Amino acid sequence: MDFNTSAELIALCHKENKKISEIMRLREIVYGESDAATVDARMKKALGIMKESAHAPLTKTVRSMGGMIGGEAAKLEKRRAEGKSICGSVLTKAVIYSQAVLEVNASMGVIVAAPTAGSAGVVPAVLFALAEQFDISDERLCDGLFTAGAIGSILMKNASVSGAEAGCQAEIGSAAAMASAAAVELMGGTPEQCFEAAAITIGNMLGLVCDPIAGLVEAPCQSRNAAGASNAITSAEMALADIKSAVPFNEMVDAMYRVGKKLPMELRETALGGCAATPTGCALKCKIFG
């Protein structure tokens, strides 16, 4: 049940007549030397943590360690409840949940790194927004997490999910690719369409730099989680309409890694370039750390 590329995983899906989530679940059982009940329990636990982190800040405001974020999710939820949102139900909720998870992370709360702490809001945001709109059960959401995990596994084997190694494209971009593939499967798409969505998603975020102000996972990280969730949803919509990426998934992954390696160190999580190096970014750093 092991695989290293999208082609290998798709071949397994066809050979076994299973979805990506089913193959990934079997892989966890085989290579994790666990029984099905243990694997399912671990995924349900992860989903529960995601759910708590996506919803808690809507009723209880938390403040980040650096003080740059906190309360954004509640503000967006208030606007949605008042019928003022311009994004539509699914996208609005995805944006809200993505903000909430980053608030929990930045206030030292418990989150699920998916694939990293700085990009932890993207996958739960997309899953819970879809779940509420289309009445998707927790059991099926766990399937979505298995699918997301499969895409993340390929990304880690062939490229990177580290902002320090390959920029924010490797964190938010990877998280968005994972979320878009999960969304496609949950909405009835094929394994091929899952990878088309993931490829489109990565292409949309190619070259995104990692420039956290004051070196903290707060700004612009929080808003980029919303961008990643939005990207995942639009890419999934395109793939479900049978729109294909001009460049196949694995080639896009290779391109992302090459681009990331060419980014100067100032734009790879060092807080020495981009937003972090602006006058305001430097002033915020001094305000936080003295």
Tokens of 34: 């666990």
Ramachandran sector of residue 261 (left: φ over 0; alpha: ψ -120 to 50; beta: rest)? alpha
Reply yes or no on whether the pLDDT at 61 is more than 90.
no
Supply the pLDDT for residue 78: 97
Pick the CATH number of 6-289 from 1.10.4100, 3.30.70, 1.10.3470, 2.40.30: 1.10.4100
Give the tens place of pLDDT for each residue, 141-179.
999 999 999 999 999 999 999 999 999 999 999 999 999
Supply the pLDDT for residue 1: 81
* 26-33: long-range contacts, CB 8 A cutoff, minimum separation 24: 26/1, 27/1, 27/2, 27/3, 27/150, 28/146, 30/1, 31/1, 31/2
The pLDDT > 70 percentage for the chain reads 100
Give the tens place of pLDDT for each residue, 108-122.
999 999 999 999 999
Supply the pLDDT for residue 222: 98
